Amino acid sequence: MRKSILSVVLIISLAAFCFVSCGDGSSSKLKIKTEEITRSEDFLEIDMKIPLLGGFPGAEELNKLIDERVSASIKEVEDAAAELERMNRRGFRASLNANYQYFYNDDIASLWIYMDNYTGGAHGMYWLDSYTFNVATGEIYSFKDLFIEDSHGFDQIVAKIMKEVEDDDIYFDTAKETIASYQGNFNFLINGDELVVYFPLYDIAPYVAGIRSFTFELEHLLDYLKPEFIEAMQGQEAVDILVL
């Protein structure tokens, strides 16, 4: 289970990341305020730092999406805490932690929120929620939106992911079928000059394998990505994403 010590490291990482990525080349449209949600009770512990977005069209829609995810996560640990209390399991706490990082340059922003929880059992869970969007237009991008039409960039990435899965026995036998079932609606984020595709815990590999991710450097995507993404990513530095 990943708990408070990792959250502290994430806070430090976030501060350094913002210093690197929020300066030269970025407009001033994106504004992010950190909302803190903390609770400490006999059977419940919550420590969350959630981004509250503003300054651009579409911010309200994104905040609503984030709030829905946060609210559902809080309810899950509240229900678990109530069950622990009902069973009088003193010394156990349902817990929820969260923090975030983001990339922002030339109107393109990619935000990812890390959460981990413990609701009972042998170990906790952890996951990413990510959102990539344009602060000039408010558009929220799907994975396929990144690519020039008929460039075959999407197909090239899928082929590389499938090949890596074939070559590593850590993956479930059904991993390729699971990947195909996404039909291109992959979880992804932009991290500096890298495009990262990731799959949740247990999705294509056992828990011990963690969140499986596949990283593609910009230099290998120049023939495929739309110009606005190339311009935003060019010359930028990726940072460590601690859960990948």
Q: How far apart are CA 120 and CA 77, in angstroms?
A: 9
- More confident position, 66 or 23: 66
In which region does residue 169 sit, left (phi positive, over 0), alpha (psi from -120 to 50) or beta (all else)? alpha
> Taking a C-beta distance cutoff of 8 angstroms, is the pair 128, 211 a contact?
yes
Q: What is the pLDDT of residues 127-163, one digit of tens each?
A: 999 999 999 999 999 999 999 998 888 999 999 999 9
pLDDT digits (tens, 9 = 90+) for 49-85: 999 999 999 999 999 999 999 999 999 999 999 999 9
Q: Give the least confident one: 35-39, 182-186, 201-205.
A: 182-186
With bands split at pLDDT 50, 70 and 90, how would you rate the model's confidence at 28? low
CA distance 8 to 106: 30
Domain-wise residue ranges, the chain? 1-141, 142-244
Q: What is the pLDDT of residues 177-194, one digit of tens each?
A: 999 999 999 999 999 999
Give 142-244's CATH code, choosing from 3.30.230.10, 3.90.640.20, 3.40.50.300, 2.60.40.180: 3.90.640.20
| Among 18-27, 37-46, 150-159, the range of highest mean pLDDT | 37-46
Place of tokens 């209390």: 85
Would you say residue 27 has pLDDT above 50? Answer: no
pLDDT band of residue 21 (cuts 50, 70, 90) is very low
Task: Look up the CATH superfamily of 1-141.
Answer: Fervidobacterium nodosum Rt17-B1 like (3.30.565.40)
pLDDT tens for each residue of 88-131: 988 899 999 999 999 999 999 999 999 999 998 888 999 999 99
Res. 3: pLDDT tops 70: no
> Among 35, 22, 127, 30, which Cα is nearest to 73's?
127
Range from 16-20, 37-41, 81-85 carrying the lowest mean pLDDT: 16-20
